[in-house]
């Protein structure tokens, strides 16, 4: 059974705090192993990557077969059904259209002192996307990572995707093709992250690495952060549904389960103002769990981390949701737009009963790579902004330097940085001479 | 003597690559010590912070004196001269004006399927700024970190600044006051980062931590990343000046030295198209080094890491600069705006000979917290965007769900995520019934 809470109960605050603090994931401490793998790849390049791939993925590669060839990609893509291809194309088109709107704008203006100020955005030159192998090898994630990069103008875009035993998901390769990925390496784990960050004889290093992965991948990303940019360290994901009593319990049950089926450590929370509806959803979840393909995973997640909370009103529900800062938030209420105004922390909001979270996972348009584990308090989902950087611009005129230069000198002096002050003073002296 | 390179020399590429790869900083491996400190603060809260402050900063605090009182702040601020106060106020006003323009805009639109899509920005609720103690305690950095946070709408803004032996820089407290900082804690090191991230009995945790620090601070920020957001791991900084022959050698020498005087591991690079000018700047640097207050530091930086490169033309100079991806880039050429178009990687660009980098450190307006150690390839300077996060929005209509829902179902099936598909299917079934 999930956790049942009612904000009217005396122990609510204690139980809600416990729910928030619940440790949902045991990340094994693989940091020492990962440090060794990274050092090995830096020292021995391709040879290390090939050995580690043989060991972990039971796949023997050579420098020439580290990447899929065009012919291999074509052969795999040919296996994809027309229906799947059409769905992937629709998803790619909608994701591209959404992300095109995110392109930030350059700016340049003259301020009151006469100085020109502004900024310019430029794309990251090369990006690497990590795509997990096996069960969690999601073509939709390829689109969600690669399309923002291409929209941003990234010139070289590569994928690292382990293929344990040589098995690859053809849809992953099709998604890579649709998104404009240049190269797909069949490598994974910390060795793939190290190769992307530092390069090998065969693999040209990239400047930014994004994409989800297991504990080894996460630890490796944390370690190479600084040498390259990374997106975020993804944790177990969550959905929170705020629903009034005027909803179909089965729809809401399926939305909760669509999160729970991802992972035993996923979390699904319903907050409703209607006790009867809470009970109906609970029953609907139980019923769906009888037949769901992934009922073992979804059932464990729902039992251990699921929660049904009855709140006094929708504002209280929104305040509780803000404390959770959920990755996904559904607002299944009469006025979802109004309630959204009260939401301060959430990765993505799905407005109204006709917007199941699954739409956002595939074809809605917004990115499905979202801040997990309460990190929506301080971070955002993946976007075009992750693949560009901003250069600030400043251009003084002689007049503007005369106006503000002396203050810079004063502050440089106060910080004991003499050359800073002199670099301004020398110019001001020349300008003042010129005035005489 | 600095490194002298000429792009016409046969060994140029090898020497330039060596310059790029030069290790300028020995970061001691303090990770194990930092892990212990963080665990201690998490376990024992205030008591641990107080003990560690006594040990590292020779300062005995109580929970009541962890933060400066209003009276203490007033007393310290009273020591600041009128000239310094006026300079700090001018800097604060200009930084605020620049950063106000960075506020991102919310968006919402209806797409062709009838769905409403968009995003909203909300501020981080609470931020903590780390301000180093001692010599590197820069009031300008307080403004550069705190003002973007306040512009973003951060509600609670605190500073952690160690005060070894109880000594504080009054200008730091004035800068904090001018920027709207709520609380200044006199704690530092990994214990301060741990307290800000996890909280203690006295210190309420924050959601985002920014600001520079020593190796302990950097390692602690890396470790708490994920629990809270962090800005970046700062490395030794650098300036690159591209200058034609039509410049005052002494001005350029001072600009190079204003970076070198920061730190022995700072790097100053001149790229010029004029061998005679290169020699003149080298002589001017030597002459200034005879009398500069921080000549020991600046001299060591210039000798070990400084470089003077003669290039064939300005486009070649720009291409070399892009490989460096410098934190600061000065374009002292006849058409700096034109040359800036060729720059793809730089933290900040200073256009024209009347814009010494020091202007940007204090009063220009743009942020002086910039990507170091070649990370301008993938990251940007501090900005308002670091203190807001974006929530994506999606709202399907029945019609839009009918249009795109089937593709979501297809992709969910291909990823073996049955509940995802069913959550769409259940709604489509009801809608199709309604149509009959």
Total structural domains within chain B:
3
> Measured between alpha carbons, how far is residue A137 from residues A133, A154, A188, B384 in Å?
5, 23, 12, 35
Torsion of CA A234, A184, A92, A86, to 10 degrees: -120
Which residues of A fall within a CB distance of 8 Å from B226? 232-233, 235, 373, 375
- Write down which residue in B232, B265, B291 finishes a domain: B232
**Rg of chain B in Å (alpha carbons):** 26
Please give, rounded to a whole number of angstroms, the shortest distance from the CA of A6 to a CA of chain B: 26
Which residues of B fall within a CB distance of 8 Å from A347? 391-392
Task: Note whether B414 contacts A90, CB cutoff 8 Å.
Answer: no
The chain-wide mean pLDDT, for chain B, equals: 95
Strands B328-332 and B229-230: unpaired
Helix A398-414 and helix B82-100: axis angle, to 10°? 120
Does the annotation mark B328 as catalytic?
yes
Q: Provide the strand spans (E) within A297-423.
A: 307-310, 328-332, 348-351, 388-395
Contact B378, B280 (CB under 8 A): no
What would the pLDDT profile of B322-360 be if each residue is shown by its tens digit? Answer: 999 999 999 999 999 999 999 999 999 999 999 999 999
Helix B170-179 and helix B82-100: axis angle, to 10°? 40
What would the pLDDT profile of A157-170 be if each residue is shown by its tens digit? Answer: 999 999 999 999 99
What are A290's two structure tokens? 């009888």
What are A128's two structure tokens? 């690497």
Of B350, B376, B378, the CB nearest to A394: B350
Does A163 share its domain with A282? no
Task: Note whether B116 contacts A351, CB cutoff 8 Å.
Answer: yes
What would the pLDDT profile of B217-235 be if each residue is shown by its tens digit? Answer: 999 998 998 899 999 877 7
Which residues of B fall within a CB distance of 8 Å from A292? 418-419
Does B53 share its domain with B142? yes
In a domain, A102, yes or no: yes
Picking from A102, A419, A154, the residue whose alpha carbon sits closest to that of residue B260 is A419
CATH number where B108 lies: 3.40.50.1980
Please give, rounded to a whole number of angstroms, the shortest distance from the CA of A331 to a CA of chain B: 10
Exposed/middle/buried for residue A300 (C-beta within 10 Å: 0-12, 13-18, 19+)? middle
Does B211 share its domain with B275? no
> What pLDDT score was predicted for residue A134?
74
Percent of chain A predicted with pLDDT > 90:
90
Picking from B163, B224, B220, the residue whose alpha carbon sits closest to that of residue B190 is B220
> Measured between alpha carbons, how far is residue A120 from residues A405, B76, B366, B369 in Å?
24, 40, 12, 16
Report the alpha-carbon angle B44-B45-B47, nearest 5.
75
Of A88, A389, A401, the CB nearest to B376: A389
Does B343 share its domain with B213? no
Find, in chain B, the residue whose alpha carbon is nearest to that of A256: B419
- Write down which residue in B189, B209, B232 finishes a domain: B232
Task: Note whether B140 contacts A229, CB cutoff 8 Å.
Answer: no
> What pLDDT score was predicted for residue A436?
61
What are B262's two structure tokens? 């920061």
CA distance A181 to A46: 22
What would the pLDDT profile of A215-260 be if each residue is shown by its tens digit? Answer: 899 999 989 988 999 998 777 889 999 999 999 999 999 999 999 9
Q: ipTM for the complex?
A: 0.95
Find, in chain A, the residue whose alpha carbon is nearest to that of B140: A411
**Tally of CB atoms within 10 A around B76:** 19
Buried/exposed code over B163-197 (b: 16+ C-beta within 10 A; e: otherwise): bbeeebbbbbbbbbbbbebebbbbbbbbbbbbbbb
Task: Note whether A411 contacts B349, CB cutoff 8 Å.
Answer: no
H helical segments located in B153-264:
170-179, 189-198, 215-224, 249-260
Does A164 share its domain with A298? no
Contact B260, B297 (CB under 8 A): yes
- With cut-offs at 50, 70 and 90, classify the pLDDT of residue B137: confident
What would the pLDDT profile of A71-109 be if each residue is shown by its tens digit? Answer: 999 999 999 999 999 999 999 999 999 999 999 999 999
Task: Note whether B404 contacts A343, CB cutoff 8 Å.
Answer: no
Annotated binding-site residue numbers of A:
130, 191, 214, 237, 259, 262, 328, 361, 415, 420
Which residues of B fall within a CB distance of 8 Å from A383? 390
- With cut-offs at 50, 70 and 90, classify the pLDDT of residue A421: very high
Of B115, B400, B414, the CB nearest to A84: B414
In a domain, B281, yes or no: yes
Does B263 share its domain with B356? yes
* pLDDT over 80 at B208, yes or no: yes
- Render B259-327 in DSSP notation, one character per residue: HHTT-TT-EEEEEES-HHHHHHHHHHHHHHHHH-TTHHHHHHHHHHH-EEEE-SSHHHHHHHHHHH--S
Does the annotation mark B293 as catalytic?
no
Does B239 share its domain with B273? yes
Does A209 share its domain with A259? no
Does B106 share its domain with B214? yes
Task: Note whether B359 contacts A251, CB cutoff 8 Å.
Answer: no
Residue A6's beta-bridge partner residues?
Answer: A310
Contact B278, B308 (CB under 8 A): yes
Does B70 share its domain with B152? yes
- With cut-offs at 50, 70 and 90, classify the pLDDT of residue B436: low
Find, in chain B, the residue whose alpha carbon is nearest to that of A138: B415
Query: What is the C-alpha end-to-end distance of chain A, expressed in Å?
Result: 86
Candidates B327, B330, B357, B368; catalytic one = B327
Interface test with B, best of A378, A416, A434 (most B CBs within 10 A): A378
Task: Note whether B378 contacts A91, CB cutoff 8 Å.
Answer: no
Structural domain boundaries, residue B260: 235-378
Tell the residue number behind the tokens 């509780």, with chain if given.
A320
Of B233, B367, B424, the CB nearest to A359: B424
Contact A55, A162 (CB under 8 A): no
CA distance A239 to A356: 11
Helix (H) or strand (E) holding A262: none
Which residues of B fall within a CB distance of 8 Å from A139? 411, 414-415
| Residues whose CB falls within 8 Å of the CB of residue B253, separated by 6 or more in sequence, listed in order | B281, B284, B285, B287, B288
Q: Which strands make up the sheet holding B126-130, listed edge to edge?
A: B183-185, B156-160, B126-130, B208-210, B229-230
In a domain, B59, yes or no: yes
In a domain, B9, yes or no: no
What are B416's two structure tokens? 């073996």
Please give, rounded to a whole number of angstroms, the shortest distance from the CA of B219 to a CA of chain A: 11
In a domain, B271, yes or no: yes
Torsion of CA B61, B62, B67, B73, to 10 degrees: -70
In a domain, B18, yes or no: no
Contact A129, A22 (CB under 8 A): no
Of A222, A228, A378, the CB nearest to B124: A378
CA distance B54 to B47: 11
As annotated, the active-site residues of A are 327-328
Interface test with A, best of B286, B358, B384 (most A CBs within 10 A): B358
Which residues of B fall within a CB distance of 8 Å from A417? 258, 261-262, 294, 358
What would the pLDDT profile of A361-420 be if each residue is shown by its tens digit? Answer: 999 999 999 999 899 999 999 999 999 999 999 999 999 999 999 999 999 999 999 999
Please give, rounded to a whole number of angstroms, the shortest distance from the CA of A14 to a CA of chain B: 17
Contact A364, A349 (CB under 8 A): no
CA distance B209 to B232: 10
**Rg of chain A in Å (alpha carbons):** 26
Q: How many contacts does A have with B, using Cβ atoms within 8 A?
A: 381
Does A75 share its domain with A170? yes
> What pLDDT score was predicted for residue A292?
97
Left, alpha or beta for A107 (phi > 0: left; psi -120 to 50: alpha)?
Answer: beta
In a domain, A140, yes or no: yes
In a domain, A175, yes or no: yes
Find, in chain A, the residue whose alpha carbon is nearest to that of B208: A378
Which residues of B fall within a CB distance of 8 Å from A420? 258, 261, 358, 361-362
The chain-wide mean pLDDT, for chain A, equals: 95
Find, in chain A, the residue whose alpha carbon is nearest to that of B421: A358
Helix (H) or strand (E) holding A159: strand A156-160
Helix (H) or strand (E) holding A107: strand A107-110
Does B220 share its domain with B244? no
Find, in chain A, the residue whose alpha carbon is nearest to that of B429: A251
- Write down which residue in A232, A266, A283 finishes a domain: A232
Length of chain B: 436
Q: Which strands make up the sheet holding B3-6, listed edge to edge?
A: A107-110, A116-123, A388-395, B348-351, B328-332, B238-243, B267-272, B307-310, B3-6
């Amino acid at each position: 059974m999930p956790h049942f809470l009612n904000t009217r109960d005396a122990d609510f605050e204690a139980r809600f705090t416990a729910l928030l603090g619940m440790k949902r994931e045991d990340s094994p401490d693989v940091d020492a192993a990962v440090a060794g793998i990274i050092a090995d790849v830096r020292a021995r390049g391709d040879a290390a990557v090939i050995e580690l791939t043989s060991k972990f993925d039971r796949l023997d590669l050579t420098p020439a077969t580290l990447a899929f060839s065009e012919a291999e990609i074509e052969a795999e893509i040919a296996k994809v059904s027309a229906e799947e291809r059409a769905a992937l194309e629709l998803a790619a088109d909608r994701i591209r259209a959404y992300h095109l709107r995110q392109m930030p704008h350059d700016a340049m203006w003259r301020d009151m002192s006469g100085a020109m100020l502004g900024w310019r955005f430029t794309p990251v030159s090369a990006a690497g996307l990590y795509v997990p192998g096996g069960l969690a090898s999601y073509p939709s994630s390829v689109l969600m990572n690669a399309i923002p990069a291409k929209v941003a103008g990234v010139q070289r875009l590569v994928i690292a995707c382990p293929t344990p035993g040589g098995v690859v998901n053809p849809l992953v390769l099709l998604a890579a093709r649709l998104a404009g990925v240049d190269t797909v390496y069949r490598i994974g784990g910390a060795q793939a992250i190290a190769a992307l960050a530092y390069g090998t004889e065969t693999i040209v290093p990239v400047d930014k690495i994004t994409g989800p992965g297991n504990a080894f991948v996460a630890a490796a990303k944390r370690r190479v952060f600084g040498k390259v940019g990374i997106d975020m360290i993804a944790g177990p994901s969550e959905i929170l549904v705020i629903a009034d009593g005027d909803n179909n319990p089965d729809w809401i049950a399926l939305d909760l389960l669509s999160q729970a089926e991802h992972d035993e450590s996923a979390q699904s929370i319903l907050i409703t103002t209607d006790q009867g509806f809470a009970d109906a959803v609970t029953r609907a979840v139980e019923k769906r769990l009888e037949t769901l393909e992934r009922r073992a995973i979804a059932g464990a997640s729902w039992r251990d981390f699921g929660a049904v909370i009855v709140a006094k009103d929708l504002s209280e529900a929104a305040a509780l949701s803000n404390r959770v800062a959920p990755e996904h938030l559904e607002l299944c209420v009469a006025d979802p737009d109004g309630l959204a105004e009260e939401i301060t922390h959430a990765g993505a909001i799905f407005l109204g009963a006709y917007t199941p979270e699954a739409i956002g996972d595939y074809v809605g348009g917004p990115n499905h790579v979202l801040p997990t584990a309460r990190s929506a308090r301080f971070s955002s989902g993946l976007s075009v902004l992750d693949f560009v950087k901003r250069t600030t611009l400043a251009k003084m005129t002689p007049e503007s330097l005369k106006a503000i230069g002396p203050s810079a000198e004063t502050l440089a002096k106060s910080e004991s940085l003499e050359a800073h002050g002199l670099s301004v003073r020398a110019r001001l002296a020349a300008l003042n001479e010129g005035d005489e």
